[in-house]
Structure 1
Amino acid sequence: MTTVTTRESLATVSLRKTFGGVTAVDDATVTFHEGKVNALIGPNGSGKTTFFNCVTGMIKPDSGSVSYHGTDITGRSPHRVARAGIGRSFQLCRIFPRMTVLENVLVAHRTHGLASLLKGARDADQIERARHWLRRVGIDHLEHSEAADISYGQQKLLELAGVLMAEPDLIMLDEPAGGVNPALIGRIGTLIRELNAEGRTFVVVEHNMEMVMSLSDHVIVFDRGRPIAEGPPSEVQSDPRVLEAYLGV
């Protein structure tokens, strides 16, 4: 019998975060598999986004550790986490609404962000790279449009293009299908599959169970701030603990 070994990409040990008297992440020990599409699911309020924020340096955990490829990144700033090779999107798109689509992607990659772009520090190679990622996500025809004028689903694709400009090895997506029409959900799913086939690891928080079950290799379920189940989609969706967390049965 051949044993398939999965390699660790991102891992947390006993991660904990409280806000006042509310424990948002509670002793979470989790391992995400390298080269796979990992999904993180759970009921509303189960701590998924807070977990993302602790991992990516948006907030500091109260205790516990975060490691990436075996290196401790606990408490690093978002900039240092990104430099380590981790990119992320947000539940609500973070874009500059009055800048063009192309400018948004360029800003996402600038070391000094908006200030660098406004000073006119443009490089032909970087512009071409930005256009490349706009083509990949399917919105290159909108490069001169203001970001505020494109649809919400297109803004999600724009945010992803900005993430990809940094060439991350691990991409963390917070509800990529939220508020997006079915056609664009399909496009986002296709992109994730293509990018994963090219070697990128994904961790996806998502409430669209059809998308999760069709897309993921490995699923981790959170409830009340801690993991309660994990495994292939086919096993997780029939786990009694998961059914109880979602349906109370």
Structure 2
Amino acid sequence: MSDPDGLATEGLTKSFGGVRAVDGATVTFHQGRINALIGPNGSGKTTFFNCVTGMIRPDSGTVTYRGRDLTGRPPHRIARAGIGRSFQLCRVFPRMTVLENMLVAVRRTRLRELLVGARQAEDIAKARGLLVRVGIDHLENVEAGNLSYGQQKLLELAGVLMGDPETIMLDEPAGGVNPALIGRIGTLIRELNAEGRTFLVVEHNMDLVMSLSHHVVVFDRGRPIAEGPPAVVREDPRVLEAYLGV
């Protein structure tokens, strides 16, 4: 079922050389819900993310959000439209403290303006509140490179929240993270969704996907092959074939 307010693509295609990483993908993710995008390795999920968020330009097709055409827009324009994202490999500044990473995430035009501008105190207060929210406020003066990988994931999520996005796209939030922090990340996603934020999560941890998501889209060879509630998708023979070859 389509959602006119949701994030949607139509015929989205991206090739690298002779390989179509995303192949005419037409899919809608529902606003106000926790959506998951799953599929075998190499099925095009991260390339799809990158096309949607302006990291790479699609060869053809469209990306729309709340009825607005965002196709090929640069990442800062996508962010202004209300979409934030994390990355498969954490993007933090390892020599900066946790708090400094949060302030950089505000993405002002120049770092000097960020550090001495009139909104500095407001931004610091917001950053500290979000660090409390994700549970790493006690680490605000620690260099990000000294955090565990799971703590870096929490820092990256907190940084995304500094931009107040309506929709948050997370690329493997549980990848390389210990079970206790996976549980914390799952709880945060549920809480933030209950407060009105939409999620689109790429994830290989099927236990997390099936317990967390309202709507699941399955990719194989660059295009969606199945979608629906988790209980339906997990029994779909096309999904079993894509994952298990059965």
Normalised TM-score (structure 1): 0.96
8 A Cα contact 2:130 2:161, kept in partner: yes
Among candidates 216, 224, 238, match of residue 241 of structure 1: 238
Q: Which residue of 2 aligns with 1:151?
A: 148
Among candidates 45, 53, 58, match of residue 50 of structure 2: 53
Residue type matched to 2:50 in 1? N
Q: Which residue of 2 aligns with 1:71?
A: 68
Against the structure 1 CA distance between its residues 9 and 186, is the aligned structure 2 distance closer, same or farther, given a 3 Å change threshold? Answer: same
8 A Cα contact 2:131 2:158, kept in partner: yes
Cα displacement (A) at 1:115: 5.1
User: Is residue 2:190 matched to residue 1:193?
Assistant: yes
Residue type matched to 2:89 in 1? L
Distance 1:87 1:6 in 2: 19
Identical counterparts, % of pairs: 76
Q: How does 1:93-172 map to 2 (within 5 A)?
A: 93-112=90-109, 114=111, 116-117=113-114, 120-121=116-117, 123-172=120-169
8 A Cα contact 1:8 1:32, kept in partner: no
Among candidates 214, 218, 223, match of residue 215 of structure 2: 218
Distance 2:230 2:5 in 1: 19
* Runs of 4+ residues over 6 Å off in structure 1: none
Cα shift readout 1:55-93 (whole Å, capped 9, x = no counterpart): 000000000000000100000000000000000000000
Cα displacement (A) at 1:5: 9.1
Residue type matched to 1:141 in 2? H
Cα shift readout 1:125-176 (whole Å, capped 9, x = no counterpart): 1100000110111100000000001100000000000000000000000000
Among candidates 24, 28, 34, match of residue 27 of structure 1: 24
Distance 1:30 1:7 in 2: 12
The gaps in structure 1 that reach 5 residues or longer are none
Among candidates 172, 175, 184, match of residue 178 of structure 1: 175
8 A Cα contact 2:5 2:66, kept in partner: yes
User: Is residue 2:201 matched to residue 1:207?
Assistant: no
Q: Which residue of 1 aligns with 2:84?
A: 87
Residue type matched to 1:165 in 2? M
Distance 1:5 1:69 in 2: 12
Residue type matched to 2:133 in 1? R
Normalised TM-score (structure 2): 0.97
Distance 1:170 1:23 in 2: 27
Bigger shift: residues 214-223 or 119-128: 119-128
Distance 1:179 1:8 in 2: 33
Distance 2:4 2:95 in 1: 42
Cα displacement (A) at 1:112: 2.0
Secondary structure, counterpart of 2:105 in structure 1: helix
8 A Cα contact 1:222 1:229, kept in partner: yes
Distance 2:145 2:108 in 1: 24
Distance 1:24 1:46 in 2: 7
Q: Which residue of 2 aligns with 1:40?
A: 37
Cα displacement (A) at 1:8: 3.7
Against the structure 1 CA distance between its residues 206 and 5, is the aligned structure 2 distance closer, same or farther, given a 3 Å change threshold? Answer: closer
Cα displacement (A) at 1:116: 3.9
8 A Cα contact 2:39 2:219, kept in partner: yes
Alignment size in residue pairs: 245
8 A Cα contact 1:36 1:217, kept in partner: yes
- The CA RMSD measured in Å over matched residues stands at 1.4
Secondary structure, counterpart of 2:6 in structure 1: strand
